[in-house]
Amino acid sequence: MNKKYNFYAGPAILPLEVIKKAQEELLNLNGIGLSILEISHRSKDFDDIINTAKDKIRNILNIPDNYSILFLQGGASFQFAMIPMNLLKGGKADYINTGEWAKKAIKEAKLFGDVNIAGSSEDKNFNYIPENLSLSSDASYVHLTSNETIGGIQWSEFPDTGDVPLIADMSSEICSRRIDVSKFGLIYAGAQKNIGPSGVTLVIIRDDLIEKGADNLATMLKYKTHAEKNSMFNTPPCFAIYIIKLVMEWIETKGGITALEDINEEKAKILYNLIDKSNLYRGTAEIKDRSRMNVTFRLSTEELENKFLQETVKQGFLGLKGHRSVGGCRASIYNAMPIEYVNKLADFMENFENHNT
């Protein structure tokens, strides 16, 4: 098996075990004689898959009973609109502007009500998480991006928003560390970074917020529609949900969230330690807010940066070029990224530094 090292930001690496299992089962799911790609979403077999996926997510993330787990389409980007459509309703919401993804969420929210920017790190090119927030007591909710995939910054502790529901875009970190779900009103995540392929978005929503959703929306745009029909009001992305189920099984065999959190911490440390003692590489995020999922860095000159990126591709390290909007380099080291790959990248980076300084 000649697999390259996948450092892409998304769609991203999946556990090899999961891909193999999907391959094994592709022609014949559980001995039923049909493929997951061709069975009815109304069949008992698919029902088992979606319910198992949900049960495992609930267990793994320790999600309280008064929250629903939904599998929706349209990506995390659609949630940027669906959230204010359902919950803002012409009122006011607090948004924290931490980067490219937060900005996109803000843009959509403005179509549906007043947006108060309760904190921003735009002054320093989004290289930190703002601390002194000016939250409004009359906000319908507070929205933040828990991990900014492009800038490489991550919230370590979440703000206390009292009775105002806290909503988080966790697309690029879901299931990578322990979180207290009860502190949030809604959590959403496009699956394609940490828990599956593209095509499905996980939404964890507190039941009172489902009820509060606006009534005057098209059926498909209401959380209520999807919650009442177990995410099967219409045909769901069956294959993507099936892969999520396999990824959840994989997380269980790895020892659950606590074990993953430890290893993710360790992986990030390997790269940040190297960057910190280097004269060639420079981390772009403030140390206290560095992401454990997306390690962003620059090299001392543009020329060396280009040489470095070309060399990585030759060595089989794919996806290290930073996002087109910010440039630089980025190593995305999601849950499925084995520590051995991170060590290999670190060895390569050290070697490159020794030969180029």
In the residue annotation, 180 being an active-site residue is answered as no
Residues in Cβ contact with 154 at an 8 Å cutoff, skipping those fewer than 6 apart: 129, 146, 147, 148, 173, 289, 290, 291, 292, 293
Q: From the candidates 54, 193, 222, 267, which is the catalytic residue?
A: 193
Tell me, yes or no, if 155 is annotated catalytic: no
Q: To the nearest whole angstrom, how small is the minimum distance from the Cβ of residue 73 to ligand PLP?
A: 10
Length of the chain: 357
Distance of CA 24 to the CA centre of its chain: 27
Closest separation in Å from C-beta 190 to ligand PLP: 3
> What distance in Å separates the CA atoms of residue 2 and residue 316, rounded to the nearest whole number?
10
* Closest to 246 in 3D by CA, of 254, 292, 340, 234: 254
- Of residues 169, 289, 305, 353, which one binds ligand PLP by CB under 6 A? 169
Active-site residue flag, 250: no
Distance in Å, CB of 348 to ligand PLP, minimum? 25
77 forms part of the interface with ligand PLP (CB under 6 A): yes
Residue 101 lies near ligand PLP (rule: CB under 6 A) = yes
Contact residue for ligand PLP among 75, 91, 113, 256 (CB under 6 A): 75
Site for ligand PLP in 174-193 (CB under 6 A): 190
Please report whether residue 155 would count as binding ligand PLP according to CB under 6 A. Answer: no
Catalytic residue among 56, 101, 267, 321: 101
The one segment of 48-56, 74-82, 241-249, 334-342 that binds ligand PLP by CB under 6 A = 74-82
| Of 77 and 278, CB closest to ligand PLP | 77
**Rounded to whole angstroms, how far apart are CA atoms 220 and 75?**
14
**Does residue 295 bind ligand PLP (CB under 6 A)?**
no
Beta strands in 73-207 (DSSP E): 92-97, 114-120, 142-145, 147-148, 153-154, 166-169, 186-190, 201-206
Q: Which two tokens stand for residue 335?
A: 């849950």
The H-or-E segment that residue 63 falls in is none
- Rounded-to-integer distance, Cα 18 and Cα 59, Å: 19
Among candidate residues 54, 155, 169, 267, the one labeled active-site is 169
Among 68, 140, 149, 231, which residue interacts with ligand PLP (rule: CB under 6 A)? 149
Question: Which is closer to ligand PLP, CB of 193 or CB of 222?
Answer: 193
The number of beta carbons lying within 10 Å of the beta carbon of residue 89 is: 17
Could you tell me how far CA 215 lies from the centroid of its own chain? Answer: 29
Confirm or reject binding of residue 10 to ligand PLP (CB under 6 A).
Answer: yes
Active site residues: 101, 169, 193
Enumerate binding residues for ligand PLP (CB under 6 A). 10, 75-77, 101, 145, 149, 169, 171-172, 190
